[in-house]
Amino acid sequence: MRWMGGVAIGALLLGTAPLAAKTPEQVAEAALEAAPVFDGHNDTPIQLRGRYHDVIGGFDFEDTTDTGNPEATGTWKGRAMHTDLVRLRKGHVGAQFWSIFVSANLPGPEAVQATLEQIDVTRRLIARYPQDMQLALSADDVERAMARGRIASLLGMEGGHSIGSSLGVLRQMYALGVRYMTLTHSKNTPWADSATDTPEHHGLTDFGRDVVREINRLGMLVDLSHVSEETMLDALDVSRVPVIFSHSGARAVNGHARNVPDNVLEKLKANGGIVMAIALPGYVGEAARQWYADRQAEKARQDALWQGQPDKAAAALAAWDEAHPEPPTTVSDMADHIDHIRAVAGIDHIGIGGDYDGMASGPVGMEDVSGYPVLFAELARRGYSQADLEKIASRNILRVMRAAERYAAAHRGDPPVETPVPD
């Protein structure tokens, strides 16, 4: 036994209690303190359009828990919003891609105008809260905002219909701050197939490939959520930059067409891109997906039975809903998607893209943006290290952004992709 200062070192060692192992909650907390959540998709802007017609002078983004309309019970307006500054802080959200979404049913010129209006209202919202939010146009901007305690706020355009099939419009959207574009939404564009529409182009057209090339040249991100599998594969073939899925799950876990199949996950690994895991129950829990399909079938049946009598059809569907409640989707179900993406593509290819305020509710336990620590604790419980959790929270998406920025810097001298406008 060695002695130091009259004290037996061995005795000290024997008498010292082992350090307590960190709980999953502590591992998650440490990870989110070091690397706050950088969420890929939040639909607050379309809530502002739908609820307030983009007039936000009296809108309080500090607390939106009272935004449900009692007179609109049973509709989306009857529900309170999922997002506000208090709950973003509670959820450890340090950066957010705000979704610039307009209906895919709008014709080209109207879609472009509505998209510009949504960029405007989102930038006005960010500017109203300078102590809490900061517009970010680059990965460096994101890290600077986080370091100042601000929520880095980025713009992501959801749907290629928003550019009206014009590369000139795409370039102007980038100039206004848009840093990703989802190639389609729920319907095909004239140049790309959607996951939820009848195949028309079987992937990307030649113009669609030019869109991907120009997105790369600008330094934007190509977002493949909402696109068909063929479009995913075509875009991965064309893109010279890592792509993202801003809010998608794994199709092997939930078979919805909006989710990413394994062959694409394998190709994504070589591309360097990421899937930002979605929280929307119908895309997360397979039981919920089956329930939605059954409900659609029942609605069609009641509409056929009660043609011309919509009140009776609605009453019959309400009775079916009462007898067939939606099965719960849980945080564990969402973690299953992350497990699968890790198994196929690897830990470097996972992010978070909740889709809050674009759905009725998140999974049980993380119904709104405040619930992210619950998910990260569940992942820690499954053996994810603090370093793994930091990658999922924000380090992976920051790496992807930097890759896009490096490519754009290296190709700054390349001429813009030009296509003729119609006569």
Radius of gyration of the chain (CA): 23
| Local confidence band at 422 (pLDDT 50, 70, 90 cut-offs) | confident
Pairing of strands 274-277, 350-352: parallel
Taken in order 359, 256, 352, 124, the sign of the CA dihedral is negative
Catalytic-residue membership of 247 = yes
Spatial distance between the Cα atoms of 132 and 122, rounded to a whole number of angstroms: 14
Catalytic-residue membership of 41 = yes
| Local confidence band at 19 (pLDDT 50, 70, 90 cut-offs) | low
Pairing of strands 3-4, 7-8: antiparallel
Catalytic-residue membership of 43 = yes
| Local confidence band at 16 (pLDDT 50, 70, 90 cut-offs) | very low
Mean pLDDT computed over 28-45: 98
% of residues, the chain, pLDDT over 70 = 96
Pairing of strands 244-248, 274-277: parallel
Of 226, 256, 337, 340, which one is the catalytic site residue? 226
Catalytic-residue membership of 66 = no
Q: Quick check: 62 and 86 in contact, CB under 8 A?
A: yes
312-344 pLDDT per residue, tens: 999 999 999 999 999 999 999 999 999 999 999
| Local confidence band at 73 (pLDDT 50, 70, 90 cut-offs) | confident
Would you state the pLDDT for residue 322? 95
| pLDDT reading at 413 higher than 70 | yes
Catalytic-residue membership of 324 = no
Catalytic-residue membership of 411 = no
Comparing 16-20, 36-40, 96-100, which segment has the lowest mean pLDDT?
16-20
Of 43, 54, 84, 193, which one is the catalytic site residue? 43
Q: How far apart are the first and last CA of the chain?
A: 93
Catalytic-residue membership of 337 = no
- Categorise residue 127: left if φ over 0, alpha if ψ from -120 to 50, beta otherwise: alpha
Would you state the pLDDT for residue 5? 43
236-276 pLDDT per residue, tens: 999 999 999 999 999 999 999 999 999 999 999 999 999 99
Spatial distance between the Cα atoms of 96 and 356, rounded to a whole number of angstroms: 11
In 3-state terms, what secondary structure has residue 191? coil
| Local confidence band at 32 (pLDDT 50, 70, 90 cut-offs) | very high
Of 82, 92, 185, 340, which one is the catalytic site residue? 185
Of 82, 161, 201, 247, which one is the catalytic site residue? 247
Cβ burial, residue 62 (10 Å; 0-12/13-18/19+): exposed
Of 54, 355, 388, 405, which one is the catalytic site residue? 355
- Residue 203 or 74, more confident: 203
159-201 pLDDT per residue, tens: 999 999 999 999 999 999 999 999 999 999 999 999 999 999 9
Would you state the pLDDT for residue 8? 45
In 3-state terms, what secondary structure has residue 96? strand
Across 304-415, where does the E strand assignment appear?
350-352
Would you state the pLDDT for residue 2? 40
Spatial distance between the Cα atoms of 334 and 110, rounded to a whole number of angstroms: 36
Spatial distance between the Cα atoms of 212 and 194, rounded to a whole number of angstroms: 15
| pLDDT reading at 21 higher than 90 | no
Would you state the pLDDT for residue 423? 77
| pLDDT reading at 96 higher than 90 | yes
H helix or E strand, kind and range, residue 277? strand 274-277
Q: Using alpha carbons, list the distances in angstroms from residue 147 to 88, 175, 347, 387.
A: 16, 25, 25, 19
Mean pLDDT computed over 221-236: 98
Q: Using alpha carbons, list the distances in angstroms from residue 245 to 182, 216, 260, 275, 414.
A: 8, 15, 9, 5, 27
**Quick count: other Cβ atoms within 10 Å of Cβ 230?**
16
Helical segments of 53-204, H only: 85-90, 108-128, 139-147, 167-175
340-369 pLDDT per residue, tens: 999 999 999 999 999 999 999 999 999 999
Mean pLDDT computed over 86-90: 98
What is the reported pTM?
A: 0.93
| Local confidence band at 77 (pLDDT 50, 70, 90 cut-offs) | confident
Of 29, 158, 336, 388, which one is the catalytic site residue? 158
